[in-house]
Chains A and B, each alone.
Chain A
Amino acid sequence: MSDVAALELRDVHVTYRTREGPVPAVRGVDLSVFAGEVVGVAGESGCGKSTIVSTILRLFPASATVTGEVLLDGENVLTMRWGRMRAVRWGVASVVFQGALHSLNPIQRIGTQLVEPIFLHDKLATDNSAATKVRTLLEQVGLPARHADAYPHQLSGGQKQRVMIALALACDPQVLICDEPTTALDVMVQAQILELLIGIARERSMAMLLISHDLSVLGTSCDRVAVMYAGRIIEHGPARAVFDWPEHPYTRALSSAFPTIGDAASRYAPSGLPGDPPFPGDLPSGCPFHPRCPSALPVCPTVDVKLLPAGPGRTAACVLVDQSVPTR
Chain B
Amino acid sequence: MSERAAVGSVASEPVIEVDDLVVTFRGRRGGGTARALDGVNLAVGRGEIVALVGESGCGKTTLARSILGLERPASGEVRFQGEPLGYGGRALKAYRRRVQLVLQDPTGSLNPRQTVYEAVAEGPRVHRMADESGRVVKALSQAGIRPPERFFLRYPHELSGGQRQRVVIAGALALNPEVIVADEPVSSLDASVRGEILALLLQLREELELTLLVVTHDLGLAWNIADRLVVMYLGRVVEDGTTEQVLNNPQHPYTKALLSVVPEMEQVESIVLTGETPDCARIPTGCRFHPRCPAYASGEAEAAGIAADCRSRELPILGATGGHRAACWLVPAGDAPIPR
Contacts and interface: CB of A to CB of B under 8 A. Distances in A.
A216 B265 CA distance: 10
B55 A156 contact: no
Contacts of A192: 272, 274
B224 interface: yes
Given A266-B223, A268-B4, A270-B199, A258 B264 contact: yes
Interface string A133-159: 000000000000000000000001110
Given A187-B217, A187-B258, A277-B160, A44 B192 contact: yes
A215 interface: yes
B247 interface: yes
A212 to B, nearest CB: 10
Contacts of B269: none
Given A45-B190, A191-B272, A214-B191, A260 B264 contact: yes
A190 B195 contact: no
A269 interface: yes
A1 interface: no
B191 A219 contact: no
B161 A190 contact: no
Interface string B135-174: 0000000000000000000000000111100000000000
B191 A156 contact: no
Nearest to A263: B223
A273 B162 CA distance: 11
A188 B55 contact: yes
B158 to A, nearest CB: 11
Interface string A27-64: 00000000000000000110000000000000000000
Contact of B261 (A45, A191, A268, A272): A191
A269 B225 CA distance: 7
B304 interface: no
Contact of B191 (A257, A260, A266, A267): A257
A214 B263 contact: yes
B276 A186 contact: yes
Contact of B276 (A188, A250, A254, A257): A188
B249 to A, nearest CB: 10
Nearest to B196: A272
Contacts of A261: 219-220, 223, 247, 259, 262, 264-265
A259 interface: yes
Given A257-B192, A272-B192, A186 B4 contact: no
B257 interface: yes
B272 to A, nearest CB: 5
Nearest to B219: A261
A273 B160 contact: no
B202 interface: yes
Contacts of B162: 276
Contacts of A254: 191-192
A271 interface: yes
Chain B contact-residue range equals: 35 or more
* Candidate in A216, A220, A258 with the most chain B CB atoms within 10 angstroms: A258
A277 B192 contact: yes
A101 to B, nearest CB: 12
A163 to B, nearest CB: 15
Given A219-B263, A257-B195, A267 B273 contact: no
Nearest to B270: A191
A217 interface: yes
B224 A269 contact: yes
A188 B261 CA distance: 7
B131 interface: no
Contacts of A271: 195
B230 to A, nearest CB: 16
Interface string A67-103: 0000000000000000000000000000000000000
Contacts of A219: 263
A158 to B, nearest CB: 6
Interface string A245-259: 000001001100111
A213 interface: yes
Contacts of B257: 188
Contacts of A269: 224
Interface string A155-176: 0111000000000000000000
Contacts of A216: 263-264
Contacts of A250: 192
Interface in B184-211: 190-199, 202
A186 B55 contact: yes
A264 interface: yes
Closest 7 CB pairs of A and B: A272-B195, A270-B198, A276-B160, A191-B261, A44-B190, A272-B196, A216-B263
11 contacts: A187-B258, A187-B261, A250-B192, A258-B220, A259-B223, A268-B225, A270-B195, A270-B196, A271-B195, A273-B192, A276-B163
Interface of A: 44-45, 156-158, 186-192, 195, 213-217, 219-221, 250, 253-254, 257-262, 264, 266-274, 276-277, 292
Given A44-B193, A157-B56, A188-B276, 15 more contacts: A187-B55, A187-B218, A187-B262, A189-B55, A191-B270, A216-B264, A220-B266, A264-B1, A270-B194, A270-B202, A272-B195, A272-B198, A272-B199, A273-B192, A277-B192
